[in-house]
Amino acid sequence: MSILLGCVADDFTGATDLANTLVKAGMRTVQLLGVPRKGLKVPEADCIIVALKSRSNPAAEAVTMSLAALDWLRQQGARQLYFKYCSTFDSTDKGNIGPVADAMLDAIGADFTVFNPSFPTNKRTVYKGYLFVGDELLSESGMRHHPLTPMTDPSLVRVLQRQTRHKVGLVQYSTIVKGAAAIRTALDDLRKQGIRHAVLDSITDDHLMMLGEACADMKLVTGGSGMAMGLPANFIRQGLMKSGQRATLPKVTGATVVIAGSCSVATQGQVALMKKDHEAYELAPMAIAAGRDVAQEALDWASTRLSEKPILIYSTATPEQVQAVQDKLGREHAGSMVEETFGKIAKGLVAKGARRLLVAGGETAGAVVGALGVEGLAIGPEIDPGVPWTFSISEPPLALALKSGNFGTPDFFTKAFKLQ
Protein backbone atom coordinates (compact mmCIF):
# COMPACT_ATOMS: atom_id res chain seq x y z
CA MET A 1 0.00 0.00 0.00
CA SER A 2 1.21 3.48 -0.83
CA ILE A 3 -0.47 6.49 0.73
CA LEU A 4 -0.96 9.95 -0.78
CA LEU A 5 -0.84 12.15 2.31
CA GLY A 6 1.09 11.40 5.51
CA CYS A 7 0.33 13.63 8.49
CA VAL A 8 2.03 14.15 11.82
CA ALA A 9 -0.33 15.75 14.36
CA ASP A 10 0.90 17.19 17.65
CA ASP A 11 -2.13 16.07 19.68
CA PHE A 12 -4.97 13.54 19.60
CA THR A 13 -8.07 15.73 19.28
CA GLY A 14 -6.28 17.89 16.69
CA ALA A 15 -5.60 14.73 14.70
CA THR A 16 -9.28 13.79 14.84
CA ASP A 17 -10.23 17.23 13.63
CA LEU A 18 -7.83 16.91 10.69
CA ALA A 19 -9.12 13.41 9.93
CA ASN A 20 -12.66 14.69 9.80
CA THR A 21 -11.66 17.50 7.40
CA LEU A 22 -9.89 15.09 5.05
CA VAL A 23 -12.71 12.52 5.11
CA LYS A 24 -15.17 15.24 4.13
CA ALA A 25 -12.85 16.18 1.25
CA GLY A 26 -13.04 12.59 0.02
CA MET A 27 -9.92 10.92 1.45
CA ARG A 28 -10.06 7.52 3.09
CA THR A 29 -8.31 8.36 6.33
CA VAL A 30 -6.78 6.35 9.16
CA GLN A 31 -5.65 7.87 12.43
CA LEU A 32 -2.98 6.06 14.41
CA LEU A 33 -2.37 6.59 18.11
CA GLY A 34 1.37 7.19 18.13
CA VAL A 35 3.98 5.68 15.82
CA PRO A 36 2.68 2.19 15.14
CA ARG A 37 4.49 -0.93 16.28
CA LYS A 38 6.05 -3.17 13.64
CA GLY A 39 3.54 -5.52 12.10
CA LEU A 40 0.43 -3.47 12.83
CA LYS A 41 -2.06 -4.14 10.06
CA VAL A 42 -3.26 -0.75 8.85
CA PRO A 43 -6.38 -0.67 6.64
CA GLU A 44 -6.10 0.59 3.05
CA ALA A 45 -6.15 4.41 3.11
CA ASP A 46 -5.34 7.53 1.08
CA CYS A 47 -4.16 9.35 4.16
CA ILE A 48 -2.65 8.28 7.47
CA ILE A 49 -2.39 10.61 10.43
CA VAL A 50 0.00 9.73 13.22
CA ALA A 51 -1.39 11.40 16.34
CA LEU A 52 1.32 12.32 18.83
CA LYS A 53 1.14 14.03 22.19
CA SER A 54 4.03 16.40 21.51
CA ARG A 55 2.56 19.89 21.62
CA SER A 56 3.81 20.80 25.08
CA ASN A 57 6.83 18.51 25.40
CA PRO A 58 10.38 19.92 25.45
CA ALA A 59 11.29 20.83 21.85
CA ALA A 60 13.99 18.18 21.47
CA GLU A 61 11.56 15.48 22.55
CA ALA A 62 8.86 16.76 20.16
CA VAL A 63 11.40 16.73 17.32
CA THR A 64 12.43 13.13 18.03
CA MET A 65 8.80 11.96 18.17
CA SER A 66 7.85 13.86 15.02
CA LEU A 67 10.81 12.53 13.04
CA ALA A 68 9.95 8.96 14.02
CA ALA A 69 6.40 9.52 12.76
CA LEU A 70 7.68 11.19 9.57
CA ASP A 71 10.05 8.34 8.91
CA TRP A 72 7.28 5.77 9.26
CA LEU A 73 4.96 7.76 6.96
CA ARG A 74 7.68 8.00 4.31
CA GLN A 75 8.10 4.25 4.49
CA GLN A 76 4.39 4.00 3.61
CA GLY A 77 5.16 5.86 0.38
CA ALA A 78 3.51 9.17 1.34
CA ARG A 79 3.67 11.53 -1.66
CA GLN A 80 3.10 14.60 0.45
CA LEU A 81 3.69 15.25 4.15
CA TYR A 82 1.75 17.43 6.54
CA PHE A 83 2.56 18.74 10.00
CA LYS A 84 -0.61 19.59 11.92
CA TYR A 85 -0.65 21.96 14.91
CA CYS A 86 -3.31 23.94 16.70
CA SER A 87 -5.38 26.65 15.00
CA THR A 88 -4.22 29.03 17.74
CA PHE A 89 -0.57 28.24 16.90
CA ASP A 90 0.01 26.97 20.46
CA SER A 91 3.76 27.25 21.07
CA THR A 92 6.42 29.15 23.02
CA ASP A 93 9.64 30.87 21.95
CA LYS A 94 11.35 27.50 22.37
CA GLY A 95 8.96 25.73 20.00
CA ASN A 96 7.61 23.36 19.11
CA ILE A 97 6.26 24.46 15.72
CA GLY A 98 9.49 26.01 14.37
CA PRO A 99 11.92 23.31 15.57
CA VAL A 100 9.67 20.45 14.40
CA ALA A 101 9.11 21.99 10.95
CA ASP A 102 12.85 22.69 10.57
CA ALA A 103 13.75 19.14 11.54
CA MET A 104 11.17 17.72 9.14
CA LEU A 105 12.45 19.87 6.25
CA ASP A 106 16.03 18.75 6.95
CA ALA A 107 14.94 15.11 7.14
CA ILE A 108 13.29 15.18 3.71
CA GLY A 109 15.94 17.40 2.12
CA ALA A 110 13.58 20.30 1.41
CA ASP A 111 14.27 24.00 1.94
CA PHE A 112 10.85 25.64 1.99
CA THR A 113 7.42 25.27 3.58
CA VAL A 114 4.30 27.23 4.53
CA PHE A 115 2.61 27.93 7.89
CA ASN A 116 -1.09 28.53 8.24
CA PRO A 117 -3.19 27.81 11.36
CA SER A 118 -6.30 29.47 9.90
CA PHE A 119 -9.59 27.57 10.25
CA PRO A 120 -12.45 29.89 9.19
CA THR A 121 -15.17 27.36 10.19
CA ASN A 122 -13.95 27.76 13.77
CA LYS A 123 -13.37 31.51 13.37
CA ARG A 124 -9.59 31.35 13.19
CA THR A 125 -8.35 33.65 10.43
CA VAL A 126 -5.00 35.16 9.43
CA TYR A 127 -4.75 38.67 7.98
CA LYS A 128 -1.40 40.38 7.27
CA GLY A 129 0.17 37.63 9.30
CA TYR A 130 -1.94 38.42 12.39
CA LEU A 131 -3.99 35.60 13.83
CA PHE A 132 -7.56 36.34 14.86
CA VAL A 133 -9.73 34.21 17.16
CA GLY A 134 -13.27 35.31 16.35
CA ASP A 135 -13.23 39.10 16.39
CA GLU A 136 -10.16 39.37 18.62
CA LEU A 137 -6.46 39.25 17.98
CA LEU A 138 -4.89 36.06 19.31
CA SER A 139 -3.16 38.04 22.05
CA GLU A 140 -6.48 39.51 23.24
CA SER A 141 -8.27 36.15 23.23
CA GLY A 142 -8.42 33.64 26.08
CA MET A 143 -5.23 32.12 24.62
CA ARG A 144 -3.16 34.79 26.35
CA HIS A 145 -3.91 32.96 29.61
CA HIS A 146 -3.25 29.42 28.39
CA PRO A 147 -1.50 27.52 31.23
CA LEU A 148 1.16 25.91 29.00
CA THR A 149 1.42 27.99 25.83
CA PRO A 150 0.21 31.57 26.53
CA MET A 151 0.00 33.43 23.21
CA THR A 152 0.74 37.11 23.84
CA ASP A 153 2.00 38.12 20.37
CA PRO A 154 -0.59 38.00 17.53
CA SER A 155 2.01 38.28 14.72
CA LEU A 156 2.73 34.79 13.41
CA VAL A 157 5.79 36.06 11.54
CA ARG A 158 7.33 37.30 14.80
CA VAL A 159 6.21 34.27 16.82
CA LEU A 160 7.67 31.85 14.30
CA GLN A 161 10.85 33.92 13.78
CA ARG A 162 11.65 33.47 17.47
CA GLN A 163 11.46 29.69 17.00
CA THR A 164 13.81 29.32 14.04
CA ARG A 165 17.17 30.61 12.86
CA HIS A 166 15.87 30.60 9.27
CA LYS A 167 14.13 33.57 7.65
CA VAL A 168 10.33 33.87 7.93
CA GLY A 169 8.25 35.66 5.26
CA LEU A 170 4.57 36.35 4.54
CA VAL A 171 2.19 35.92 1.60
CA GLN A 172 -0.50 38.52 2.06
CA TYR A 173 -4.23 38.49 1.48
CA SER A 174 -3.90 40.79 -1.57
CA THR A 175 -1.90 38.03 -3.32
CA ILE A 176 -3.97 35.12 -1.99
CA VAL A 177 -7.19 36.44 -3.58
CA LYS A 178 -5.52 36.44 -7.00
CA GLY A 179 -5.51 32.64 -6.95
CA ALA A 180 -3.20 29.65 -7.01
CA ALA A 181 -0.86 30.81 -9.81
CA ALA A 182 -0.18 34.17 -8.12
CA ILE A 183 0.38 32.44 -4.78
CA ARG A 184 2.84 30.03 -6.36
CA THR A 185 4.79 32.91 -7.89
CA ALA A 186 4.87 34.69 -4.50
CA LEU A 187 6.13 31.53 -2.78
CA ASP A 188 8.85 31.09 -5.42
CA ASP A 189 9.92 34.72 -4.96
CA LEU A 190 10.23 34.30 -1.19
CA ARG A 191 12.24 31.16 -1.66
CA LYS A 192 14.64 32.88 -4.07
CA GLN A 193 15.19 35.54 -1.40
CA GLY A 194 16.49 32.84 0.93
CA ILE A 195 13.30 32.70 3.01
CA ARG A 196 12.51 29.22 4.24
CA HIS A 197 9.20 29.71 6.06
CA ALA A 198 6.18 31.52 4.59
CA VAL A 199 3.22 32.47 6.77
CA LEU A 200 0.00 32.57 4.72
CA ASP A 201 -2.98 34.89 5.10
CA SER A 202 -6.46 33.36 4.73
CA ILE A 203 -9.91 34.34 5.85
CA THR A 204 -12.28 32.01 4.01
CA ASP A 205 -12.43 28.38 2.91
CA ASP A 206 -12.04 29.62 -0.69
CA HIS A 207 -8.62 31.02 0.24
CA LEU A 208 -7.71 27.67 1.78
CA MET A 209 -8.71 25.85 -1.41
CA MET A 210 -6.51 28.17 -3.51
CA LEU A 211 -3.63 27.80 -1.06
CA GLY A 212 -3.99 24.03 -1.19
CA GLU A 213 -3.81 24.14 -4.99
CA ALA A 214 -0.72 26.36 -4.86
CA CYS A 215 1.01 23.86 -2.56
CA ALA A 216 0.34 20.82 -4.76
CA ASP A 217 4.04 20.14 -5.33
CA MET A 218 5.33 21.09 -1.89
CA LYS A 219 6.85 18.10 -0.13
CA LEU A 220 5.93 19.30 3.36
CA VAL A 221 2.98 21.55 4.19
CA THR A 222 2.25 22.75 7.74
CA GLY A 223 -0.91 24.15 9.27
CA GLY A 224 -4.07 23.62 11.28
CA SER A 225 -6.90 21.46 9.95
CA GLY A 226 -8.01 24.17 7.52
CA MET A 227 -4.82 24.32 5.48
CA ALA A 228 -5.26 20.63 4.63
CA MET A 229 -8.71 21.26 3.14
CA GLY A 230 -7.41 22.08 -0.35
CA LEU A 231 -4.92 19.23 -0.63
CA PRO A 232 -7.22 16.30 -1.54
CA ALA A 233 -8.39 18.14 -4.69
CA ASN A 234 -4.77 18.10 -5.94
CA PHE A 235 -4.67 14.32 -5.80
CA ILE A 236 -7.97 14.17 -7.69
CA ARG A 237 -6.62 16.61 -10.33
CA GLN A 238 -3.48 14.48 -10.64
CA GLY A 239 -5.63 11.38 -11.20
CA LEU A 240 -4.29 9.70 -8.07
CA MET A 241 -7.62 9.60 -6.29
CA LYS A 242 -11.28 9.48 -7.33
CA SER A 243 -13.52 12.29 -6.13
CA GLY A 244 -16.13 11.68 -3.41
CA GLN A 245 -14.41 8.58 -2.06
CA ARG A 246 -15.82 7.02 1.07
CA ALA A 247 -14.12 4.35 3.10
CA THR A 248 -16.24 1.25 3.20
CA LEU A 249 -16.14 0.50 6.87
CA PRO A 250 -17.57 -2.85 7.86
CA LYS A 251 -20.92 -2.78 9.60
CA VAL A 252 -20.32 -3.80 13.20
CA THR A 253 -23.01 -5.72 15.02
CA GLY A 254 -23.07 -6.76 18.62
CA ALA A 255 -23.93 -5.43 22.05
CA THR A 256 -24.14 -1.67 22.21
CA VAL A 257 -23.23 0.65 25.07
CA VAL A 258 -23.10 4.40 25.68
CA ILE A 259 -20.50 5.52 28.21
CA ALA A 260 -20.84 9.12 29.41
CA GLY A 261 -18.12 10.64 31.58
CA SER A 262 -18.64 14.20 30.39
CA CYS A 263 -20.55 16.61 32.61
CA SER A 264 -21.02 19.23 29.89
CA VAL A 265 -24.41 20.82 29.28
CA ALA A 266 -24.89 18.95 25.97
CA THR A 267 -24.06 15.58 27.54
CA GLN A 268 -26.37 16.24 30.49
CA GLY A 269 -29.23 16.74 28.03
CA GLN A 270 -28.27 13.64 26.01
CA VAL A 271 -28.13 11.49 29.17
CA ALA A 272 -31.49 12.81 30.41
CA LEU A 273 -33.16 12.06 27.06
CA MET A 274 -31.68 8.58 26.69
CA LYS A 275 -32.66 7.59 30.26
CA LYS A 276 -36.33 8.07 29.38
CA ASP A 277 -36.54 4.87 27.37
CA HIS A 278 -33.25 3.00 27.86
CA GLU A 279 -31.73 1.13 30.77
CA ALA A 280 -29.18 3.26 32.61
CA TYR A 281 -26.59 2.77 35.35
CA GLU A 282 -25.26 5.74 37.33
CA LEU A 283 -21.67 5.49 38.40
CA ALA A 284 -21.06 7.11 41.80
CA PRO A 285 -17.60 8.65 42.30
CA MET A 286 -17.96 8.60 46.10
CA ALA A 287 -18.58 4.84 46.02
CA ILE A 288 -15.31 4.36 44.12
CA ALA A 289 -13.53 6.56 46.67
CA ALA A 290 -15.04 4.45 49.48
CA GLY A 291 -13.28 1.41 48.01
CA ARG A 292 -16.23 -0.34 46.35
CA ASP A 293 -15.47 -2.22 43.13
CA VAL A 294 -17.80 -0.02 41.10
CA ALA A 295 -16.43 -1.27 37.77
CA GLN A 296 -17.44 -4.83 38.70
CA GLU A 297 -20.83 -3.66 39.96
CA ALA A 298 -21.47 -1.88 36.64
CA LEU A 299 -20.39 -4.95 34.68
CA ASP A 300 -22.66 -7.23 36.75
CA TRP A 301 -25.53 -4.83 36.06
CA ALA A 302 -24.72 -4.73 32.34
CA SER A 303 -24.21 -8.45 31.82
CA THR A 304 -27.94 -9.30 31.85
CA ARG A 305 -28.84 -6.28 29.74
CA LEU A 306 -26.31 -6.32 26.89
CA SER A 307 -27.94 -6.42 23.46
CA GLU A 308 -28.11 -4.41 20.25
CA LYS A 309 -30.41 -1.97 22.03
CA PRO A 310 -28.04 0.55 23.64
CA ILE A 311 -27.69 0.74 27.41
CA LEU A 312 -26.19 3.71 29.22
CA ILE A 313 -23.49 3.85 31.88
CA TYR A 314 -22.83 7.39 33.07
CA SER A 315 -21.20 9.55 35.70
CA THR A 316 -22.62 12.72 34.18
CA ALA A 317 -23.71 15.04 36.95
CA THR A 318 -24.73 18.67 37.54
CA PRO A 319 -22.04 21.28 38.29
CA GLU A 320 -23.15 21.30 41.96
CA GLN A 321 -22.79 17.51 42.25
CA VAL A 322 -19.39 17.61 40.55
CA GLN A 323 -18.27 20.44 42.85
CA ALA A 324 -19.32 18.47 45.93
CA VAL A 325 -17.29 15.44 44.77
CA GLN A 326 -14.28 17.59 43.87
CA ASP A 327 -14.39 19.37 47.25
CA LYS A 328 -14.05 16.00 48.96
CA LEU A 329 -11.63 14.24 46.58
CA GLY A 330 -9.84 17.01 44.69
CA ARG A 331 -10.48 17.76 41.02
CA GLU A 332 -7.61 15.71 39.57
CA HIS A 333 -8.14 12.71 41.80
CA ALA A 334 -11.90 12.58 41.19
CA GLY A 335 -11.34 12.87 37.44
CA SER A 336 -8.68 10.20 37.12
CA MET A 337 -10.56 7.82 39.42
CA VAL A 338 -13.71 8.05 37.30
CA GLU A 339 -11.71 7.78 34.06
CA GLU A 340 -9.88 4.68 35.29
CA THR A 341 -13.18 3.07 36.31
CA PHE A 342 -14.65 3.74 32.87
CA GLY A 343 -11.55 2.19 31.31
CA LYS A 344 -12.07 -1.02 33.32
CA ILE A 345 -15.76 -1.05 32.51
CA ALA A 346 -15.11 -0.66 28.77
CA LYS A 347 -12.60 -3.49 28.82
CA GLY A 348 -15.03 -5.73 30.73
CA LEU A 349 -17.89 -4.86 28.37
CA VAL A 350 -15.87 -5.82 25.30
CA ALA A 351 -14.92 -9.10 27.01
CA LYS A 352 -18.66 -9.70 27.46
CA GLY A 353 -19.37 -9.06 23.78
CA ALA A 354 -19.90 -5.31 23.43
CA ARG A 355 -18.87 -4.25 19.93
CA ARG A 356 -20.39 -0.80 19.48
CA LEU A 357 -19.38 1.87 21.96
CA LEU A 358 -20.24 5.54 22.07
CA VAL A 359 -18.13 7.50 24.56
CA ALA A 360 -18.94 11.06 25.66
CA GLY A 361 -16.10 13.17 27.04
CA GLY A 362 -12.62 13.89 25.66
CA GLU A 363 -10.64 12.64 28.66
CA THR A 364 -13.08 9.78 29.16
CA ALA A 365 -12.65 8.72 25.52
CA GLY A 366 -8.87 8.82 25.93
CA ALA A 367 -9.10 6.56 28.98
CA VAL A 368 -11.43 4.10 27.21
CA VAL A 369 -9.36 3.90 24.02
CA GLY A 370 -6.22 3.39 26.12
CA ALA A 371 -7.77 0.65 28.26
CA LEU A 372 -9.02 -1.15 25.15
CA GLY A 373 -5.53 -1.08 23.60
CA VAL A 374 -6.81 0.60 20.42
CA GLU A 375 -3.84 1.45 18.19
CA GLY A 376 -5.66 3.29 15.46
CA LEU A 377 -8.99 4.26 13.97
CA ALA A 378 -10.35 4.20 10.45
CA ILE A 379 -12.51 7.31 10.15
CA GLY A 380 -16.07 6.90 8.89
CA PRO A 381 -19.01 9.20 8.22
CA GLU A 382 -19.86 12.15 10.45
CA ILE A 383 -22.74 11.67 12.89
CA ASP A 384 -22.89 15.34 13.89
CA PRO A 385 -20.33 18.09 13.15
CA GLY A 386 -16.96 17.03 14.56
CA VAL A 387 -18.00 13.49 15.57
CA PRO A 388 -17.47 10.67 13.07
CA TRP A 389 -18.06 6.96 13.46
CA THR A 390 -14.74 5.17 13.63
CA PHE A 391 -13.69 1.57 13.24
CA SER A 392 -10.94 0.48 15.60
CA ILE A 393 -7.71 -1.21 14.66
CA SER A 394 -7.85 -3.63 17.56
CA GLU A 395 -8.83 -7.18 18.31
CA PRO A 396 -11.81 -7.51 18.23
CA PRO A 397 -12.64 -4.63 15.84
CA LEU A 398 -15.10 -2.18 17.36
CA ALA A 399 -17.33 0.61 16.12
CA LEU A 400 -16.42 3.62 18.24
CA ALA A 401 -17.93 7.10 18.38
CA LEU A 402 -15.81 9.39 20.53
CA LYS A 403 -17.65 12.59 21.33
CA SER A 404 -16.23 15.74 22.92
CA GLY A 405 -18.47 16.76 25.81
CA ASN A 406 -20.28 19.65 24.22
CA PHE A 407 -20.89 18.17 20.78
CA GLY A 408 -24.04 16.60 19.33
CA THR A 409 -27.79 17.10 19.23
CA PRO A 410 -29.92 16.03 22.27
CA ASP A 411 -30.83 12.69 20.62
CA PHE A 412 -27.20 12.00 19.64
CA PHE A 413 -26.83 8.84 21.77
CA THR A 414 -29.57 6.92 20.04
CA LYS A 415 -29.43 8.60 16.63
CA ALA A 416 -25.76 7.62 16.24
CA PHE A 417 -26.47 3.87 16.14
CA LYS A 418 -29.05 4.29 13.39
CA LEU A 419 -26.26 5.74 11.20
CA GLN A 420 -23.65 3.07 11.91
Stretch that binds ligand ADP, among 49-57, 183-191, 205-213, 257-265 (CB under 6 A): 257-265
Smallest CA-to-CA distance from 346 within 407, 309, 276, 394 is with 394
> Amino acid identity of 285?
P
Stretch that binds ligand ADP, among 13-21, 347-355, 362-370, 392-400 (CB under 6 A): 362-370
Stretch that binds ligand ADP, among 92-100, 243-251, 292-300, 313-321 (CB under 6 A): 313-321
| Residue 241 · residue 46 · CB < 8 Å | yes
Q: How far is the CB of 271 from ligand ADP (least distance, A)?
A: 11
Query: Which helix (H) or strand (E) is 376 found in, with range?
Result: strand 376-384
Q: How far apart are CA 394 and CA 400, in angstroms?
A: 11
- What angle separates helix 97-108 from helix 59-75, to the nearest 10 degrees? 40
| Residue 119 · residue 87 · CB < 8 Å | yes
Residue 387, classed as helix, strand or coil, is strand
C-beta atoms surrounding 233 within 10 Å: 17
Residue 339 engages ligand ADP in binding (rule: CB under 6 A): yes
Residue 313 engages ligand ADP in binding (rule: CB under 6 A): no
Q: How far is the CB of 112 from ligand ADP (least distance, A)?
A: 38
Q: How far apart are CA 200 and CA 208, in angstroms?
A: 10
> Amino acid identity of 181?
A
| Identity of the residue, 348 or 405, whose beta carbon is nearer to ligand ADP in the bound complex | 405
Q: How far apart are CA 34 and CA 393, in angstroms?
A: 13
Among 95, 98, 343, 362, binds ligand ADP (CB under 6 A): 362
Q: How far is the CB of 57 from ligand ADP (least distance, A)?
A: 21
CA-based end-to-end distance of the chain:
27
| Identity of the residue, 303 or 406, whose beta carbon is nearer to ligand ADP in the bound complex | 406
Among 205, 279, 363, 382, binds ligand ADP (CB under 6 A): 363
Give strand ranges (E) for 109-226: 113-116, 124-127, 130-133, 136-137, 167-171, 195-200, 220-223
Cα separations in angstroms, 385 against 16, 25, 274, 368, 406:
12, 14, 20, 22, 11
Smallest CA-to-CA distance from 78 within 259, 281, 250, 221 is with 221
Residue 262 engages ligand ADP in binding (rule: CB under 6 A): yes
Q: How far is the CB of 265 from ligand ADP (least distance, A)?
A: 9
Q: How far is the CB of 53 from ligand ADP (least distance, A)?
A: 15
Angle (CA) 215 220 222, round 5°: 80
| Residue 401 · residue 390 · CB < 8 Å | yes
Residues numbered 96-155 forming contacts with ligand ADP, rule: CB under 6 A? none
Stretch that binds ligand ADP, among 24-32, 55-63, 208-216, 322-330 (CB under 6 A): 322-330
Residue 371 engages ligand ADP in binding (rule: CB under 6 A): no
Among 98, 261, 310, 376, binds ligand ADP (CB under 6 A): 261
| Residue 10 · residue 84 · CB < 8 Å | yes
Q: How far is the CB of 283 from ligand ADP (least distance, A)?
A: 8
Residues numbered 271-290 forming contacts with ligand ADP, rule: CB under 6 A? 285
Query: Which helix (H) or strand (E) is 31 found in, with range?
Result: strand 29-33
Among 310, 335, 343, 380, binds ligand ADP (CB under 6 A): 335
Strand order in the sheet with 130-133: 124-127, 130-133, 136-137
| Identity of the residue, 58 or 319, whose beta carbon is nearer to ligand ADP in the bound complex | 319
Among 80, 116, 264, 390, binds ligand ADP (CB under 6 A): 264
Residue 263 engages ligand ADP in binding (rule: CB under 6 A): yes
Stretch that binds ligand ADP, among 93-101, 238-246, 316-324, 370-378 (CB under 6 A): 316-324
The residue of the chain with the least Cβ separation from ligand ADP equals: 405
| Identity of the residue, 253 or 318, whose beta carbon is nearer to ligand ADP in the bound complex | 318
| Identity of the residue, 334 or 416, whose beta carbon is nearer to ligand ADP in the bound complex | 334
Q: How far apart are CA 208 and CA 179, in angstroms?
A: 10
Residue 400 engages ligand ADP in binding (rule: CB under 6 A): no
Q: Which residues bind ligand ADP (CB under 6 A)?
A: 261-264, 285, 315, 317, 321-322, 325-326, 334-335, 338-339, 361-364, 404-405
